[in-house]
Structure 1
């Protein structure tokens, strides 16, 4: 009997310690500036240049501005030259930092030799792998995706291949200097199997796993490689939802997420998104994957997208 009592006491104590540690780790996320402080020269100490893919709008644009405001020169990359040129002008006007524009389409196969040539002489301290694409804004089943064969190729090129190739281009210089930061933008949708966005979610799981593996391989070289997995951010991909506590503006999200750069190999970027990630992983998948839940989710997105288009049309006619 005493042995059984000892066993149960030990088990209970282990559970208390386990959840106590988890609670302590969670409370650290409430005060990132206290637990994970960054010096004013942290980013510039990594190198002169920051490279941001998908920088013409949304989260990528916000990272480019934020890093320029930290004193870094920035390379902004996307496929729309007119928009990139405008973003470059705005960054120069606001921060006075140098901006290099590289126009490229990451959905295409052979773009990385030219990118590597344009980056080879730069002292790159920060890489933000942000570029990504959804197969469809409206969530739908895999076989219902339009132009499925081409979409598969484009998504793998953009969401998977680009991230790996950009790491391959920038990591050697960081390793030689013994410092650098790589932020790979994933998605909250990668924290569970995500029906109706299955291919997108799966592509972001690749981002997370490669990031975590690379961090283990290169952390002893002074390089930080971190996955950033946002939930709601008001961007075109999220049909510009109104901002609130959960749905942040790109600028607010990036400002918050940069506070967690030293917080480990993965962050959701803000305390509210951390809570959302915990909730999604706590709710049984049988509930989340119920047909009624998926149908309601699909209907919700359709209504939001429809409202967005209606509002845009109304504004255009005023």
Structure 2
């Protein structure tokens, strides 16, 4: 009994001497919990402001806010094609810039017939250096260019290591996704600055958020386009130009992710994604464009990168 009394006395003495530390730890825990709650509340408010309010509250016509014409680079990609169709549905005429007119010719004709807008297809081979800029400038001459849409080209890209990619394919990928997107912005921005309005939309991929096994060039290219958009917005937002970085995750039947999928809540059709994405134009300069993808992005941010890398290595070793 004496031993028990001695232990209780010792416990009371230790508790009394450590009470200050317990209270401090409790205060730190309460502050951390409160900060996480504030962040969660902020993210929920942002989700509503970016993805729901613009679709509920009517706004000015896109042509009034930005301009009557859009320049689309990468129109052969299903997402860019769906985005162009959504612009045409709002009465925006389209200039397709492509290296192969067969990939967008039918799309251009369909948009003209369905929505009564003008469409122009410009052949531009950017491997010829500055010579590719001349037909684009001619096509834009005298037009109120309000939109530039650049889309990452993922055609023919399959998961493989860097040393397995042929040198020419690597150079072509970097040229299409980095150099050309930058040059297109350089060609369109002077007219937008002169008119003090316009929108530049760079559609990359959620792959820019975290490294993916076998996707070195994709994550690097999309990362460049994402940071390029943010820097461009910082530089030109004060001149009336809105620059948006779209980072979609999985899109059904578009080949934008390593694994193909059927349309679902988290993998929408390109048409559904474009309808949601275009409603965020002028609202958020960096977004997934589709609110379920924003939920995915929020969950991804909660995962430490070392756990993400470990999981990717386990996935690669098991495949």
TM bucket by the smaller chain? 0.7 to 0.9
Cα separation, partners in 2 of 1:51 and 1:163, compared to 1, 3 Å:
same
- Figure out how many residues of one structure are paired with residues of the other and give that number: 293
1:292 equivalent in alignment to 2:314: yes
Measure the CA separation in 2 of the matches of 1:76 and 1:229: 22
1:110-121 alignment, distance < 5 Å: 110=130, 111-121=132-142
1:1-318 alignment, distance < 5 Å: 8=28, 13-33=34-54, 37=57, 39-106=59-126, 109-110=129-130, 111-133=132-154, 137-145=157-165, 147=166, 149-233=167-251, 234-238=253-257, 241-290=261-310, 291-295=313-317, 299=319
20-29 or 203-212, which moves further after superposition? 20-29
Measure the CA separation in 2 of the matches of 1:271 and 1:72: 25
Cα separation, partners in 2 of 1:208 and 1:235, compared to 1, 3 Å:
same
Q: Do the aligned partners of 2:124 and 2:133 also contact (CA within 8 Å) in 1? A: no
Q: Do the aligned partners of 2:123 and 2:135 also contact (CA within 8 Å) in 1? A: no
Match of 1:227, SS state, is strand
Match of 1:31, SS state, is helix
Measure the CA separation in 1 of the matches of 2:300 and 2:31: 30
Measure the CA separation in 1 of the matches of 2:36 and 2:117: 52
Q: Do the aligned partners of 2:82 and 2:274 also contact (CA within 8 Å) in 1? A: yes
TM-score calculated relative to the size of structure 2: 0.82
Cα separation, partners in 2 of 1:12 and 1:67, compared to 1, 3 Å:
closer
Cα separation, partners in 2 of 1:72 and 1:276, compared to 1, 3 Å:
same
Post-superposition offset of 1:122: 2.1
TM-score calculated relative to the size of structure 1: 0.82
Cα separation, partners in 2 of 1:140 and 1:295, compared to 1, 3 Å:
farther
Cα separation, partners in 2 of 1:125 and 1:279, compared to 1, 3 Å:
same
Q: Do the aligned partners of 2:152 and 2:222 also contact (CA within 8 Å) in 1? A: no
User: Which structure: larger Rg?
Assistant: 2
Post-superposition offset of 1:133: 3.2
Instruction: Find the counterpart in structure 2 of residue 314 from structure 1.
Output: none
Cα separation, partners in 2 of 1:200 and 1:12, compared to 1, 3 Å:
closer
Gaps of 5+ in 1: 300-318
Measure the CA separation in 1 of the matches of 2:270 and 2:317: 28
Gaps of 5+ in 2: 1-19
Cα separation, partners in 2 of 1:282 and 1:84, compared to 1, 3 Å:
same
Measure the CA separation in 2 of the matches of 1:219 and 1:130: 21
Measure the CA separation in 1 of the matches of 2:296 and 2:240: 31
Q: Do the aligned partners of 1:268 and 1:274 also contact (CA within 8 Å) in 2? A: yes
